């Protein structure tokens, strides 16, 4: 199970259809042992891509919480009056290949080592969603463009699909004028996680056959 919420508010917790950048950076911070109050500018500057190896199934948990504080910060005397119902969505049986591109090779090497021997527990979007297979890949370091590295990596699960769906962060430079498959995601950390400040980034949703390099319009 995994959940990658980008617009969760109050009692309804959503999930995206693929890992969010803020969620992936949070996972990397846990691997490094980096506190929530520490800057994440070096991690946020990396370009991210996701290859969907298995879409998974959208599910939700129905939960209730009692003794929730009122707007004035005080507890309700009658616990039945402050019981909150919550729907929390997640993906079941999904599999994703996540790639991060950076010109800082030592940083990538540190991250690769940290994923192999994480300092803190890793989780997939929520603390109760622990990875089943390890997220560390022995051959996870590669040279060359992000798209090529992801296209050449073998399938994570079988049987492999004939075509993969990719979510590729737009490369630096002038924005493309072809907007048909470009979406905005508000999951770019704008400071330490304690500030809970996120900005937008542009992501291209493209498809490519197995082994074919996906192309982002320019």
**Model pLDDT for residues 191-200, shown as the tens digit of each residue:** 888 878 888 9
Of the two residues 158 and 49, the one the predictor is more confident about is 49
pLDDT at 70: 67
What is the pLDDT, as a whole number, of residue 123? 94
Q: What is the pLDDT of residue 136?
A: 95
Q: Please give the helix or strand (H or E) that residue 41 lies within, else none.
A: helix 41-44
Instruction: Tell me the average pLDDT across 26-50.
Output: 95
Task: Write the CB contacts of 81 (distance below 8 Å, at least 6 apart in sequence).
Answer: none
CA–CA gap between residue 209 and residue 27 (Å, rounded): 29
Pick the CATH number of 12-209 from 3.30.70.2660, 3.40.50.720, 3.40.109.10, 3.90.950.20: 3.30.70.2660
- The average pLDDT across 63-70 equals 75
177 band by pLDDT with thresholds 50, 70 and 90: low
What was the pLDDT predicted at 75? 64
Identify the CA nearest to 114 among candidates 32, 189, 43. Answer: 32
Average pLDDT over residues 125-139: 92
How is the chain split into domains, by residue range?
A: 12-209
pLDDT tier at 180, thresholds 50, 70, 90? low
pLDDT mean across residues, the chain? 88
Contact assessment for residue 100 and residue 145, using Cβ atoms and an 8 Å cutoff: no
Quick check: 171 pLDDT over 70?
yes
Percentage of the chain exceeding pLDDT 70 = 88
pLDDT tens-digit map of 86-124: 888 999 999 999 999 999 999 999 999 999 999 999 999
* Distance between first and last Cα of the chain: 35
């Amino acid at each position: 199970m995994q959940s990658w919420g980008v617009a969760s508010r109050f009692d309804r917790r959503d999930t995206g259809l693929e890992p969010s950048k803020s969620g992936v950076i949070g996972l990397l911070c846990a691997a490094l042992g980096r506190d929530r109050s520490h800057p994440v500018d070096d991690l946020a500057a990396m370009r991210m891509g996701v290859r969907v190896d298995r879409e998974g199934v959208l599910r939700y948990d129905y939960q209730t919480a009692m003794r929730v504080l009122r707007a004035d910060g005080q507890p309700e005397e009658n616990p039945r009056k402050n019981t909150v119902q919550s729907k929390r969505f997640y993906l079941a049986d999904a599999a994703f290949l996540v790639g991060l591109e950076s010109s800082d090779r030592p940083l990538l090497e540190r991250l690769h080592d940290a994923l192999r021997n994480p300092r803190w527990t890793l989780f997939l979007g929520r603390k109760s969603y622990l990875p089943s297979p390890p997220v560390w890949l022995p051959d996870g370091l590669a040279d060359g463009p992000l798209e090529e590295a992801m296209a050449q990596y073998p399938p994570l699960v079988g049987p492999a699909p004939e075509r993969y769906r990719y979510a590729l962060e737009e490369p630096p430079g002038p924005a493309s004028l072809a907007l048909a498959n470009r979406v905005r995601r508000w999951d770019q950390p704008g400071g330490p996680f304690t500030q809970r400040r996120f900005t937008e980034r542009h992501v291209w949703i493209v498809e490519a056959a197995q082994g074919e390099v996906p192309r982002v319009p320019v």
